[in-house]
Copies of this chain bind each other. A is one copy, B any other.
Amino acid sequence: MGANKQMNLGFLFQISGVHYGGWRYPSAQPHRATDIQYYAEIVRTAERGKLDFCFLADSIAAYEGSADQQDRSKDALMAAEPKRLLEPFTLLAALAMVTEHIGLVTTATTTYNEPYTMARLFASLDHITNGRAGWNVVTSANLAEAHNFGRDGHVEHGDRYARAEEFINVVFKLWDSIEDGAYLRDKLAGRYGLSEKIHFINHIGEHFKVRGPLNVPRPPQGHPVIVQAGSSHPGKELAARTAEVVFTAQQTLADGKAFYSDVKGRMAKYGRSSENLKVLPGVVVYVAETESEAKAKYETVSNLVPPDFGLFMLSDLLGEIDLKQFDIDGPLPEDLPEAKGSQSRREVIINLARRENLTIRQLYQRVSGASGHRSIWGTPKQIADQFEQWVYEEAADGFNILPPYLPESMNDFVNFVVPELQRRGIFRTEYEGSTLRDHLGLARPKNSVAKPS
């Protein structure tokens, strides 16, 4: 089945892994959380596995929620490793120097940044990586971020998306403002640049007024690869219009297929072909030579989540409901209190609990490992079978791997799963191109600002 349809694989790099028990795993190295060599070792492992890219989630706050919420939950918070302790642009630029092929993608918000600054950072990162940069565009729904940027509350959903659309539009124009070949550098003639290839963009919109040009030449990839993760209606529309990679949380094959065809089906009206968007569901992988050994790894890390933190985190995912009133070893009650925050994330969690008959403890252990993403365990063959099925049945173009504990589960993935995928001819054995666009099979965009010649 699925003969030779190639898949794309990225991985989410969170310090000691995405599982909240990850930092306590026996082989974890949480004391190296600000040691750049630690990051270098892990990203080089991923490159040895020929992965398409390393991806950083981001947030511009140390902890989420209001000061009150943080204060009330501080004991729980102090039992977890922060999701990040270094800033992503500096981190990825450093990693560029110790890798050659792997793509380097980071999240950046359009709500608390300026388009000129973001366009410049990504363009520069794309030069420094020789065309390996990608931007996961987010709009920030986090109250703690608002409180670090002079606001009392976060920006409304609709306003954030309107700003995001204009922001991306300005960034695209800035990336194109110094055309390919604008700099001649003719020493003898004393001619460095060609003014006809360098453009003011003169953008005047509802949110931004930006003259340009950018002070970085057009990036090697034309535009760094655009990634999105929104699963709301405007999020899917923005993805269909502008994204080249979509991250998504899908628990079942059926849900995956529905999402895949939904998002790809929205592209035609923007004049885009569906192969120019790669849908990559997140998946947490536990792999070992036997299924029971793989399952034991999952159980080991799950048992390392302190119950107080587990309940706090599950309550947060379900919309700030108090779970301490229920039996931790009983099921999630039918009549849960009203939720605050994301409804779609809450639904995914509730459906998972019902489908698998999980107790509250089992549920927090499961979601502790995955932030709402799917967790699977098994032999290399079992994992590869699932990957192959999802791609063959058009639920995915590949996966965003979420290593539960690092560095060990990245090593496991590269040593066990990648060779099995390669043996089946559904994943590369060598990088064929040099840019992230090459790895993903995406074309270099045309320049939107250049005058037709």
Contact = CB atoms under 8 A, between A and B. Distances in A.
Given A148-B116, A185-B31, A36 B127 contact: yes
A195 B77 contact: yes
A323 interface: no
A84 B30 contact: no
Interface in A76-95: 77-82, 84-87, 89-94
A399 to B, nearest CB: 28
Contacts of A67: 200, 202, 211
A117 interface: yes
Interface string A64-80: 00010000001101111
Contact of A192 (B23, B59, B113): B23
A123 interface: yes
A121 B211 contact: no
B217 A34 contact: yes
Contacts of A149: 114, 116, 210
B87 A148 contact: no
Interface string A213-225: 1111100000000
A124 B90 contact: yes
B215 A78 contact: no
A24 interface: yes
A90 to B, nearest CB: 4
A24 B148 CA distance: 46
A30 B195 contact: no
A148 B211 contact: yes
Given A31-B185, A62-B198, A195-B77, A148 B82 contact: no
A120 B123 CA distance: 20
Copies in the complex: 2
A121 B30 CA distance: 22
Nearest to A121: B87
B86 A216 contact: yes
A34 to B, nearest CB: 4
Contact of A87 (B124, B190, B200): B124
Contacts of A215: 59-62, 82, 84-85
A212 B87 contact: no
Interface in A101-146: 112-114, 116-117, 120-121, 123-125, 127-128, 144
A178 B62 contact: yes
Given A200-B67, A213-B62, A36 B183 contact: no
A97 B36 contact: yes
A192 B61 CA distance: 18
A294 interface: no
A187 B215 CA distance: 46
12 contacts: A24-B187, A67-B202, A78-B195, A79-B192, A80-B192, A89-B121, A90-B125, A93-B94, A94-B128, A97-B98, A114-B149, A116-B149
6 pairs of A and B residues whose beta carbons are closest in the complex: A87-B124, A97-B97, A90-B93, A93-B93, A147-B211, A62-B215
Given A90-B93, A144-B211, 15 more contacts: A34-B127, A36-B97, A61-B215, A67-B211, A78-B193, A78-B195, A81-B192, A87-B216, A91-B93, A94-B128, A97-B98, A112-B117, A114-B149, A116-B149, A147-B209
